Amino acid sequence: MVFNPEEHHRRSIRLQGYDYSQGGMYFITICCNNQTCWFGEIIDDEMVLNEYGNIAYNEWVKLSERFCNFESNIFVITPNHIHGIIELMDNNTIGATIGDIIGAYKSLVAMNCLKIYKSKNQKMGKLW
């Protein structure tokens, strides 16, 4: 799909001028490309993770090992998106920003899902 600014425009919901590297609680939503249900399905009102959903889960849990100023409070994985509340600690160390953390997460999940597709000689397409 070719980018057309007349059709493809998104309004940022970020607070203009706000420093997203400062300590505090942040609500995060990460959506799959085209609302594709990559991570599993809802069965009897319960989310059942598939192998890609397990990757998404495990990589989220490991984020606090990667980023010293990050703590995950609660998160939920749905078939086509993830919600989480994270906390950036204000601990006077050089820490990551929200963009760094989410970028790393998205990259790690996509890379590990791609490994599964490649092992099956399949093409994955865009995850996010």
Question: What does the pLDDT look like over 39-74, one tens digit per residue?
Answer: 999 999 999 999 999 999 999 999 989 988 888 889
Q: d(Cα 76, Cα 114) in Å, to the nearest integer?
A: 22
Q: How many CB atoms lie within 10 A of CB 93?
A: 8
Q: Which residue has the tokens 């980023």?
A: 67
What is the pTM assigned to this prediction?
Answer: 0.83
Confidence of residue 103 (pLDDT cuts 50, 70, 90): very high
Q: Token pair for residue 116?
A: 């599964």
Residues across the chain:
128
Does residue 1 register a pLDDT over 70?
A: no
Does residue 79 register a pLDDT over 90?
A: yes
Higher pLDDT, 22 or 6: 22
